[in-house]
Amino acid sequence: MEVLTSGIRELDKAIGGGLLEDSIMLIIYDSYSYGWSLGVKILQNRIVEGDFGVIINSILPFSSLQMEFRGIGFDLETECEKGNAGIIDIFASFNGIKYDRPYIYSTNIDPPTFLPKFMTMYRKMLTEKIKDRRPVGLTVTEDGFAFLLGEDQYIRTLQKNLALKETARITEKRKRPINILFLNRDRVSKRFISWLALYSQYIIEFYSPGEGNEEKMIVRKSPLPDFEPRTYKFKLKKGEVLIL
């Protein structure tokens, strides 16, 4: 499989060369961290390379999500309107919010019907928006899904989704995706984190400081042979991520 650039030279070097096709990157952070911004920047850079952003939102109304992304230099609304991204809005689906925007996909949903309805929305987006481009999925957030579905139920759902993904890899001829998962460790159990770590090929963990804005960034896992686990310094400066 092809190794793709994240668009951030220091990150590519830290993870052993880049992002492997069909891989999952788990970004773990705490309540005051901006570590999640790394995933947004990867998505932004992959869109420049011609990929399509699939934002899977479980935690915020669209207006709040837009403000969070805009604060780090990514205009989500503009990219969606340009046809470069779309939103599978689980938050809106659970809370009955209806948007008159063709790039926001939602439906009536509850825990027992989550996976089939999610797959229906994704397949519709694939046909209408993604087409022959590579999807780059951004799950905002895994702890949001744990809250909506319950940790055990969500892990079972994730396992079923991974099985569907494996079948698609075998039977479909299209560009393989990159998946980036956001996880706030303060909102879930260690057991939940352990399951997600098992299913992820890349793991990057952030710890926010008691003061200042320089975070500790630990690159814990990568499938690439040149990778060595290391600790870095990370900070967000004027909407740009810096890895030192």
**Contact by Cβ (8 Å): 184, 205:** no
Residue 239 has pLDDT above 90, yes or no: no
How much is the average pLDDT of 163-173? 90
Beta-sheet pairing, 85-89 with 52-57: parallel
Residue 59 pLDDT? 97
Mean pLDDT of the chain: 95
pTM score over 0.75: yes
* Domain chopping of the chain, boundaries: 3-243
Residue 77's contacts (CB-CB under 8 Å, 6 or more residues apart) are: 66
Residue 1 has pLDDT above 80, yes or no: no
CATH superfamily, region 3-243: P-loop containing nucleotide triphosphate hydrolases (3.40.50.300)
pLDDT, tens digit (0-9, with 9 covering 90-100), for 199-238: 999 999 999 987 778 999 999 999 999 999 999 999 998 8
